[in-house]
Copies of this chain bind each other. A is one copy, B any other.
Amino acid sequence: KKRYNITLLPGDGIGPEVISIAKNVLQQAGSLEGLEFSFQEMPVGGAALDLVGVPLPEDTISAAKESDAILLGAIGGYKWDKNEKHLKPETGLLQLRAGLKVFANLRPATVLPQLVDASTLKREVAEGVDLMVVRELTGGIYFGVPRGIKTNENGEEVGFNTEVYAAHEIDRIARVAFETARKRRGKLCSVDKANVLDASILWRRRVTALAAEYPDVELSHMYVDNAAMQLVRDPKQFDTIVTNNIFGDILSDEASMITGSIGMLPSASLSDSGPGLFEPIHGSAPDIAGQDKANPLATILSAAMLLKYGLGEEKAAKRIEDAVLGALNKGFRTGDIYSAGTKLVGCKEMGEEVLKSV
């Protein structure tokens, strides 16, 4: 039997509910493929702030680093919104990403035939959307220095951040993107703002240079403002998108909303060699936390990404993906994806339905 150590980071809001379900699904799919998991649950975000006063405790990051993969629920909530920066739940997430060096964030946005009506886009525009945003996750303006708020010569406050990319940071995320595109439909669109930003000029130059090594991938470039438009106009034109941290934050959220089902979308954050971090792209939804209303499918599908991208266990991953489709095909829907003629269920019941189909 193969054994894996998994760190579970339930976090805040609906995090604990969806993690406990995804854990069961992961265990079940694994055991059917001869895999054994040992789980360790650790605090992060607001939960960690309440418990020990920091958003990413030492114990949590070291457990995460020593494990084979990390499954995260969600972090943040109104309660900590006014905290100072270093005491915000979000800061814990950024520290976790940096600590794990997970520079490559894969965010699929897929419109399932069963859920095409959940999109606010017209059926013919939304139908068949299947794209992947490859977002740089540990660099750029999120982490660049100098940064801060200072008082200038005139006694006036000035807030500043640095967008910065070194060649090797661009190259390594571009390689992940080229390889991702190669395994998909072979089309890569690099998004930047090279008509204005120097960091984007270097970005475009490096990505263009690498293209020679991937002759089977068709590379194009697009300005970020145009990309934000094209995602609305014709999302089907995209296969794989690669972009920097902040543009990726914005565009991947936009793309996810275009599918109409952000309660369905997983993500993977990968490093060069250490364990990967897997999490749903939705937030902690404090307004519905603890009410058995959350959609657990994004976290369940994140567990599938954990198996596939984190452990290389494609068969077990496929079991989970198929089980999710099975539950949807039987008509089960949580509130966020409900439509007339389907069966409305809570978080737990949806989890049980998936478990049955694994």
Contacts and interface: CB of A to CB of B under 8 A. Distances in A.
Contacts of A229: 253-254, 256-257, 262
Contacts of A157: 166-167, 202
Contacts of A94: 196
Contact of A249 (B148, B203, B225): B225
A168 B121 CA distance: 40
A200 interface: yes
A323 interface: no
A131 to B, nearest CB: 14
B159 A162 contact: no
B159 A120 contact: no
A253 B233 contact: no
Contacts of A195: 76, 88, 90
Contact of A159 (B142, B202, B251): B202
B156 A166 contact: yes
A218 interface: no
Interface string A116-139: 000011100100000000000000
A165 interface: yes
B163 A158 contact: no
Contacts of A228: 228, 250-251, 253-254, 257
A250 B224 contact: yes
26 contacts: A76-B195, A90-B196, A120-B122, A121-B122, A141-B141, A142-B196, A144-B160, A147-B198, A149-B201, A156-B166, A157-B166, A158-B166, A159-B164, A159-B200, A159-B203, A160-B162, A160-B163, A161-B163, A163-B163, A225-B249, A228-B228, A229-B256, A229-B257, A232-B254, A232-B257, A250-B250
